[in-house]
Structure 1
Amino acid sequence: MKKQLAAIAASLAWAFGAQAADIKLVVNADQPGPVIHRNIYGQFAEHLGTGIYEGMWVGPESKIPNVRGWRKDVVAALKELKVPLVRWPGGCFADEYHWRDGIGPRNKRPIKVNTHWGGVPENNAVGTHEFFDLVEQLGAEAYVNANMGTGSPQEAAEWLEYMTGEGNATIVEQRRKNGRDKPFRVHYYALGNETWGCGGNMRPEYYADMYRHWATFLKTPEHNRPKFIASGGNDQDTTWTEVLSKNIRHNFDAIAHHAYTFPSGKWEGKGSAAGFPEAEWISMLSQVKKIDDVLARSTVILDRNDPKKKLAIYFDEWGSWYDPEPGSNPGFLVQRNTLRDALLAALHFNVFHSHADRVKMSNVAQMVNVLQAMILTSKDKLVLTPTYHAFSLYTPFQDATSLPVTLENNPVYKVGATEMPGLSATAARGKDGKLYVGLVNSDATQAAALTLQVGANTPKAAKGRLLTAGAMDAQNELGKPAQVVPQAYEVQAADGKLTLKLPAKSIVVVAIEG
């Protein structure tokens, strides 16, 4: 850690060069924008590898400390992140999931094969009641994904009635018999997942008709009506946004969009999670511009087809995806989590903030042990990943009011033929009344310094946290000292300027004083 701090100090010293001093960040605090919905920091838990079983769910009989089967240590760590929402049961798994398999006594539930993820047995130990126990322990909202791939409108409608019904219908009495008298609070309910691919290989026009059919039968008490979500675009495709926003009217609140990031930019041969060159560092981070572009194009479409802004965009799957960790089951999507993933997350946050008028939810894939996870577990141990710490730094932005920012003389970061803006910035007025600024220096080798103005004024100080490390692929591993942990960050104005110094490959989130 001493060596790491020395390297950071040397990097910061460089930032006082004449070139860096020209960078200026102006925050227009008198021009409040849309609220940054807390669900932009949502999570995703799919029946995939050890993402739920072992990673979070160990069962009530386990020697690992748990509350009704859910690991105490994992739940406590997620609560520290103020997790606002969890999406379940998938993902591709959702479109082969039949909810009745996951209710009643666990020892009598059917065992199926998880055909999407590793071909392993699925014992349905985690079902509807267990999921809602988890979100209630977290104090989070529930996002349930219904099966449109192999299910039926009746099955989707009856699951909703099972969860939300209040009368004495047989299906409601069945829920009570299974231990839950009070209805579950379902905040979001989606029809299908990735219907362009694993959810049915549908055309958008066909899916729009299917959605209209199925949504007709989704009925709940008005005070427990969820937001209803249509499966929408993939990667750079906005065709679905156009078709769905034109053709669906009833029980329709949002369009889901998915996009993953690979170093190679190709599905086959994605690239390594660690041990990569700087060319793969920048190739990964520069692709966030595509997220910005597709959201901008989607917003134009929605503003035309939905001028009253009733529809939101839910970016409910995003994150890094690498080649499988050597020696792991390739269907379990096990990968390392490094400093690069933390910066990737922060760059996504800044983009989502800039589109907060339409983007009301996003869900990183996924919470534990899978893809860009917050937490990695092994038996009774856990480690917090760099991505976890990126989420932690950005918690003040949940339900904050966005503020426009201007970055003057933003340096260009270039490696080979790939280039991107060196710095990314966001600002907001938090629920606590404080002004927060989030900054990312994507340059892997060069520090930067910028002066901060709030309107025409110079703030007095900035205080918050910094996340960086010595190596691009620095990670936190079980049984080893953590390499990527937040550090205190504080700076005072001097000579009429407030200068924020950003080490290479770093994230800084600060509250502004004065």
Structure 2
Amino acid sequence: MDSVQRVMVLPQEPIGQIHPYLHGHFAEHLGELVYPGIYVSPESPIPNTNGLRNDVIEALRPLNIPVLRWPGGCFADTYNWRDGIGPRERRPMRVNVHWGMAEEPNSFGTHEFMAFCRAIGADPYFAGNLGSDSPAELRDWVEYCNFAGKSTLAEERRTNGAGQPFNVQLWGIGNENWGCGGNMSPEEYAAAFARYRTYVHNYPGTQVEAIACGPNGYDWQWTRRFFEYMTNHHTSCRLNQVQGFAAHYYCGTAGTATKYTESQWLELLSKAYAMEGIVTGHRRIMDEYDPARRRKLIMDEWGTWHPVEQDKPQGGLYQQNSIRDACVAALTLDVFHNHADKVYMANIAQLINVLQALLLVEEDRCIQTPTYHVFNLYQAHKGAQAVRFLTAAETVSNGEAAAEHCKSCYIDKQPFALQAVHGSASIHDDMLCVTVVNTHPTQPVELDLELYQGRLNEVETVTLAANDIHAHNTFEHPLAVQPSEPKRVQARGAHLRVSLPAGSVTRMRGRLG
């Protein structure tokens, strides 16, 4: 492979604003995410505030997390919100039937979740139970959260400690209803969505955005059949009931979380980059029914899914998180930025201890994963204007493994390929931010970045890299993978040369000349 790889940024070709929600997160009652990842007994020796772990809050605050989805996932499909309100000693013990038949004490419920969101600065996104609860239960939960006037439910909320309404705007109407949420057909779900949505009301001060269950990965038929039913129902077009449409895509694994070959590294990154086909394919179908794009495409579950660590309960989905996962996160966020006109929100799975987590906790210890550092590096993109990013880098994987995984994620069956350098670019107040991934596990490259019809002067670069492609942070070595100190690089007019280590993520920022 040639050591010099060229990319181009075109500031004159805006794509759309990068909505902060594209950097969203997800917290499900699953494994050790909530207990003890977020919540411990208020009497615990682990420092906490009313049960919320202080170290976790302190670690997450710097990320400025924009939105957090809860309580599932599949857990939401059997969750009754009433189990999680009122005095904790009176809350029922339930069985988490989806995740290892674990005990669910309901100590962390609506009020605790809202307190956690406020502590880290995130907007709440509730996943409502369409699978096993009634429309009346969902209706009551919305009123309990959002009504400021006099009603039995509003008074119950006040009695439980919240004098003012929570004003929850984002409500998922069901979750994975093609699977754990009821094994429905698209038409069955569309009919159920319309029924449940009818009773999800807007109360003064809060305009609800109802988010429908979208497809699993490349299931084009789910999207088409849902929108066909909602558009051409015999009485009227029901699309006005839909504000968002949420797809899921896990790129899976290749090897394990920390044991993989160089070819498996490339395989996983190819599967991750297939997200571009998922986004463009489903948006294209949606545009046939909604050309004005009033319905927002959302990816509210995404990430890697490796085998559970051997010393952990198999139902808890605990996995380590390496520099390879960091590259997956960066590639995926870059896809979202490059299609900021097509996708509105995304929520990586999940926040703590589960799947592609940002934090790992064990007893009173809390460490940051390589994926955490990617979200931190990429913060400058949030709210900025995405501009065109083109790569002319060499192909490092022809995508055969990815194509087999996703059954050709492009509707028009374009060949899929992973290039040596992928990235995205955005502009905010004349500050250009470019993020790039050197996707090759062993070969460093010299990046030649050209700013089309523009100039740069001095640029700050920060790189996340490691000497070992399997490097990851542990409780014994929590800083094995961490960003470099910022470096200053001088541009030459429209060109910038930056060295990219093998298997790395780099952010470049500079003021446009």
TM exceeding 0.5:
yes
Deviations 1:328-358 (A, max 9, x none): 1110001110000000000000111122112
Match of 1:451 among 448, 452, 459: 448
Cα distance, 1:244 vs structure 2: 2.7
Alpha carbons 2:457, 2:493 under 8 Å: kept: no
Q: 2:49 aligns with which of 46, 67, 75?
A: 67
**Structure 1 residue identity aligned to 2:382:** Q
1:1-400 equivalence runs, <5 A: 19-21=2-4, 23-246=5-228, 247=230, 248-264=238-254, 271-400=255-384
1:499 aligns with 2:497: yes
CA contact (8 A) 1:458 1:498 kept: no
Aligned 8 A contact 2:126 2:172 in 1: yes
The question of 1:424 aligning with 2:407 is answered: no
More displaced stretch, 90-99 vs 347-356: 347-356
Q: Which residue of 2 aligns with 1:7?
A: none
Counterpart AA for 2:91:
R
Q: Which amino acid aligns with 1:376?
A: L
Alignment RMSD, CA only?
1.7
Q: In the alignment, is the contact (CA less than 8 A) between 1:452 and 1:459 conserved in 2? A: no
Decide whether aligned partners of structure 1 residues 495 and 295 sit closer, same or farther in structure 2, where only a CA change above 3 A counts. closer
- Is the CA contact (8 Å cut-off) linking 1:282 and 1:415 kept in structure 2? no
Which residue among 486, 489, 492 is the counterpart of 2:487? 489
What are the Cα deviations for residues 466-495 of structure 1, in whole angstroms up to 9, with x where unaligned? 000011110010022521100023311359
Distance in 1 of aligned mates of 2:10 and 2:400: 34
Q: Give the counterpart letter for 1:378 in structure 2.
A: E
Shift of 1:510: 1.2
Q: Which amino acid aligns with 1:412?
A: T
CA shift for structure 1 position 283: 0.8
Matched with 2:477 is: 480
> Residue 225 and residue 469 in structure 1: after superposition, are their counterparts in 2 closer, same or farther (change >3 A)?
same
When the two structures are superposed, what TM-score results if normalisation uses the length of structure 2? Answer: 0.92
Which range is displaced more, 302-311 or 39-48?
A: 302-311
Question: Are the equivalent residues in 1 in contact too, given 2:451–2:495 (CA < 8 A)?
Answer: no
**Residues 388-434 of structure 1 deviation map (CA, whole Å, 9 limit, x = unaligned):** 001111011111110012223x111149976621110200013x541
Q: Contact 2:148–2:165 at 8 Å: present in 1 too?
A: yes
Q: Check whether the contact 1:42–1:362 (CA below 8 A) recurs between aligned residues.
A: yes
Contact 1:463 1:512 in 2 (8 A): yes
- Contact (CA 8 Å) 1:42, 1:84: kept in 2 or not? yes
Q: Which amino acid aligns with 1:393?
A: L
The 3-state SS of whatever aligns with 1:344 is helix
Rounded to whole Å, the distance in 2 between the matches of 1:274 and 1:415 is: 24
Q: Which residue of 1 aligns with 2:404?
A: none
Mapped to 2, the partners of 1:411 and 1:286 lie a distance apart of 14
Is contact 1:311-1:358 (8 Å) kept? no
Separation in structure 2 between the aligned mates of residue 112 and residue 370 of structure 1, nearest angstrom = 20
- 2:394 paired residue among 378, 395, 411: 411
Residues in 2 aligned to 1:261 and 1:309: alpha-carbon distance in whole angstroms: 26
Task: Report if the CA contact (8 A) 2:452-2:494 is conserved.
Answer: no
Residue 14 of structure 1 corresponds to none
Q: CA deviation at 1:496?
A: 7.6
Structure-2 change in CA distance of 1:386 and 1:175 (3 Å): same
- How far is the alpha carbon of 1:32 from its aligned partner? 2.1
Which whole-Å CA distance do the structure 2 matches of 1:496 and 1:404 have between them? 15
Shift of 1:251: 2.7
Amino acid at match of 2:503: K
When structure 1 is superposed on structure 2, of 293-302 and 95-104 the one drifting more is 293-302
Question: Aligned pair in 2 of structure 1 residues 359, 276: CA closer, same or farther (>3 Å)?
Answer: same
Contact 1:446 1:504 in 2 (8 A): yes
User: 2:6 & 2:510 partners in 1: Cα distance?
Assistant: 15
Give CA deviations for 1:144-200 in whole Å, capped at 9, x if unaligned: 011111100000101000000122111111111111110002121011110000111
2:200 partner amino acid: L
Query: What's 1:12 paired with?
Result: none
The aligned amino acid for 1:506 is S
Give the gaps of 5 or more residues in structure 1.
1-16, 265-270
In 2, the alpha carbon distance for the partners of 1:359 and 1:261 equals 18
- 1:222 is displaced (CA, Å) by 4.5
SS of the aligned residue for 1:28 comes to strand
- Amino acid in structure 2 at the alignment position of 1:255: F
In the alignment, the residues of structure 2 paired with residue 417 and residue 167 of structure 1 have an alpha-carbon distance, to the nearest angstrom, of 58
3-state SS in 2 of match to 1:466:
strand
What secondary structure does 1:167 align onto? coil
Matched with 1:3 is none
Identity of aligned residues (%): 38
Conserved 8 A contact 1:338-1:475: yes
Contact 2:396 2:420 in 1 (8 A): yes
1:201 CA displacement: 0.4
- Secondary structure at the aligned position of 2:356 is classed as coil
Alpha-carbon contact 1:345-1:390 (below 8 Å) kept: yes
Is the 1:441–1:504 Cα contact (8 Å) retained in structure 2?
A: yes
Q: Aligned to 1:401, which of 379, 382, 385? A: 385
- Runs of 4+ in structure 1 deviating by more than 3 angstroms, as ranges, are 414-419, 494-497
Q: Distance in 2 between matches of 1:30 and 1:424?
A: 20
1:294 deviates by 1.8
Q: Could you say which residue in structure 2 is the equivalent of 1:511?
A: 509
- State whether residues 446 and 499 of structure 2, in contact with CA within 8 Å, keep that contact through their aligned partners in structure 1: yes
Counterparts of 2:382 and 2:227, CA distance in 1 = 27
2:337–2:386: 8 Å Cα contact kept in structure 1? yes
